[in-house]
């Protein structure tokens, strides 16, 4: 376990990287003894500072819930990060590319909760009953730690590489459609780059929220009504550059689009 002094120093380093749009060397290479609990302590320090500075927490993101994402990263278990209100963009937004580092897009479903979810024994039925509606979303990944050789400890410390999210399309009640078969065609500049179906997320996207609620309970936390939960990507991350237009077609769930300047 790392000392509180070291955890604070890492949080300082990542805050500077976020501010300067830069990346820092791998944490695990410099702190080989660092554990997953240490990395969540770093993330919680970052989140605490955000709240202290007046940023409004609005939800959580779940990462690495699909086989395709685990294969893409070499990491074999999910993780989670925090979402603040200033990280949420509406459909059709023009987004400043230089705000982020190592910018990629993921295709997800967002669950908006109507009731509290508190582990440790949350089931998929609890999640479906607690969800007000589900809406298509894109996650913008931003990595403040160098990419090559990252472990889950590096990723969690970096707020699970959460940069921002874009929501849009057609909100649906969770029982109105078979969420497993929610599908997406992801375009970059008129070319389809990725496709996928939501069952890739732990067999049912609601299972991502199940995992999160039960994991948070281990950290003395829970999910509150009104929170937005990004349930995890069902495509590989797609790199984007300044000038790119991104469109994701979710069929009967509508489309989400944004442009990077």
Residue-wise pLDDT for 165-202, tens only, equals 999 999 999 999 999 999 999 999 999 999 999 999 98
CATH of residue 99: 3.90.850.10
- Residue 61 and residue 80 in contact, taking contact as beta carbons nearer than 8 Å: yes
Cα–Cα distance, 230 to 212 (Å, whole number) = 10
Instruction: Note the pLDDT of residue 20.
Output: 87
Measured CA distances, 92 to 111, 168, 252 (Å): 20, 8, 18
Task: For the chain, list residues with pLDDT below 50.
Answer: none
Phi-psi region of 170 (alpha: psi -120 to 50; beta: other; left: phi over 0): beta
pLDDT of 214 reads 95
Domain count, the chain: 1
- pLDDT, residue 68, reads 66
Cα 20 to chain centroid distance, Å, stands at 21
Q: What DSSP line would sit under 62-126, residue for residue?
A: EES-BHHHHHHHT--S-EEEEEEGGGEEETTEEE-GGGSSS-EEEEEEEEEESS-B--SS--HHH
Instruction: Give the pairing type, strands 104-113 and 228-230.
Output: antiparallel
Q: How far is CA 260 from CA 18, 160, 179, 243, in A?
A: 18, 21, 29, 5
Can you tell me the distance from the alpha carbon of 16 to that of 34, in angstroms, rounded to the nearest whole number?
Answer: 20
Residue 160: give the domain boundaries: 4-260
- What pLDDT is stored for residue 73 in this prediction? 65
Residues 161, 63 contacting (CB under 8 angstroms): yes
Distance CA 147, CA 68 (A): 17
Q: So what's the pLDDT on residue 65?
A: 75
């Amino acid at each position: 376990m790392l000392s509180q002094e070291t955890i604070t120093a890492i949080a300082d380093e990542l805050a500077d990287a976020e501010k300067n749009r830069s990346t820092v060397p791998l944490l695990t290479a410099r702190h080989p003894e660092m554990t997953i609990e240490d990395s969540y302590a770093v993330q919680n320090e970052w989140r605490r500072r955000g709240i202290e500075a007046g940023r409004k927490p609005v939800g959580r993101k779940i990462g690495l819930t699909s086989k395709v994402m685990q294969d893409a990263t070499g990491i074999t278990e999910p993780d989670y990060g925090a979402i603040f209100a200033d990280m949420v963009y509406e459909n059709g937004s023009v987004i400043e590319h230089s705000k982020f580092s190592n910018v990629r897009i993921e295709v997800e479903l967002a669950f908006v909760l109507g009731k509290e979810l508190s582990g440790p024994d949350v089931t998929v039925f609890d999640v479906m009953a607690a969800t007000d509606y589900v809406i298509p979303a894109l996650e913008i990944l931003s990595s403040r730690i160098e990419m090559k050789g990252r472990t889950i400890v590096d990723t969690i410390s970096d707020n699970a590489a959460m940069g921002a999210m874009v929501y849009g399309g057609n909100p649906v009640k969770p029982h109105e459609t078979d969420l497993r078969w929610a599908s997406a065609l992801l375009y970059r500049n008129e070319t389809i780059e990725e496709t996928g179906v939501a069952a890739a997320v732990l067999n049912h996207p609601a299972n991502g929220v199940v995992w999160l609620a039960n994991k948070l309970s281990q950290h003395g936390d829970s999910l509150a009504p009104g929170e937005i939960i990004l349930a995890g990507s069902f495509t590989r991350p797609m790199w984007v550059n300044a000038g790119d237009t991104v469109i994701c077609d979710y069929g009967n769930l509508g489309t989400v689009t944004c442009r990077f300047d």
